[in-house]
Amino acid sequence: MPTDRLKIAIEPKSFAAYEQAVKDSGGVPCRLSSDVAALVWTDYSQPQALEQMLRDNPQLEWVQLPFAGVDTFNQVLNQPVRFTSAKGSYSEPVAEHALMLCLALGRDIPTRLTEKTWGKKFAKSLYDSEVLIVGAGGITAELINLLKPFRANITVVRNLPEPLAGANVTVELDALPAQLAKADFVILACALTEKTRYLFDLAMLQSMKSDAYLVNIARGPVIVTADLHTALESKVIAGAGIDVTDPEPLPDGHPLWNAPNLIITPHTADTNEMVIRMFSERLRLNTLAYLNRGEWIGVVNPDLGY
């Protein structure tokens, strides 16, 4: 059966904003059928269901994935389909959250929230600080913009040996331990790949300065959770702020809840309301690309895993 190029399936759950985005680009939102070659997948928690849908629908040419990270969908990325992600879509609120965690840690907010006495005077300023960011995607680009007023000296660690606009230094991943020894704030904003999974184990944490802070707004498994707990308890690092955990959600009673100088936020760098609004814009633009009226954004490279 020939495919209807105007039809865009939205599965397994649709939202009025997504349907409107497709319509605004000249497409027709629908449920998936044998004459539909484009699919918007809206559920991050069901990779097996997407895998089955791809097997049942060999006519599919384009699949839009819901989030910037595509690690959950690694098992399907080798299919002969164009996959696009939402990378870059949520960069503003996530970068804002990372900045907030840095500021809160530098001002010793975890301690001040629990103390019932005046305590000692302490602060570490972001102004003129050494900031290291792991990852070079949209979140990092936005974070660099947010850090400009602080005159921070920014080092970016990435896979490719290419400079990143706004960064003072750009290095490849194998240079990470040496760069960690200089950083006041270390921010994880990378995709979860085989190279970054459990990248921050105890040895890597020990490469940081003892008065440095770690922020993770990437994926929980970039850090070895037990090693982070050890590093905080042993004062290997000064503190950490994490919006993602491994496991996630972090169970009640987990030792990490009682670790010193740790801020845990429940993966709220972007809310559902933000995601729907920003993903709708990505969907609008990529629907235009599918209809040969614009350029693709966020095309996934299966070899790199993002």
> Residue 1 falls within a domain, yes or no?
no
Q: Are residues 84 and 101 in the same domain?
A: no
End-to-end Cα separation, the chain, in angstroms:
32
Domain that holds residue 62: 7-89+271-290
* 96 given a catalytic annotation: no
**Residue in 115, 172, 233, 248 annotated catalytic:** 248
Q: Are residues 79 and 100 in the same domain?
A: no
**Residue in 219, 229, 282, 284 annotated catalytic:** 219
> Residue 279 falls within a domain, yes or no?
yes
What is the H or E stretch that residue 78 is in? none
> Residue 295 falls within a domain, yes or no?
no
Q: Are residues 132 and 256 in the same domain?
A: yes
Q: Are residues 77 and 97 in the same domain?
A: no
Q: Which has the closest alpha carbon to 141: 89, 180, 178, 184?
A: 89
For 178-201, the pLDDT digits (tens) are: 999 999 999 999 999 999 999 999
Q: Are residues 140 and 276 in the same domain?
A: no
For 276-300, the pLDDT digits (tens) are: 999 999 999 999 999 999 999 999 9
* 97 given a catalytic annotation: no
Q: Are residues 160 and 250 in the same domain?
A: yes
> Residue 298 falls within a domain, yes or no?
no
* 248 given a catalytic annotation: yes
CATH number at residue 39: 3.40.50.720
What is the count of structural domains for the chain? 2
Q: Which has the closest alpha carbon to 220: 69, 42, 45, 49?
A: 69
Residue 210 amino acid letter: S
Cα-Cα-Cα-Cα dihedral of 204, 270, 95, 50, to 10°?
60
For 140-164, the pLDDT digits (tens) are: 999 999 999 999 999 999 998 899 9
Confidence of residue 1 (pLDDT cuts 50, 70, 90): low
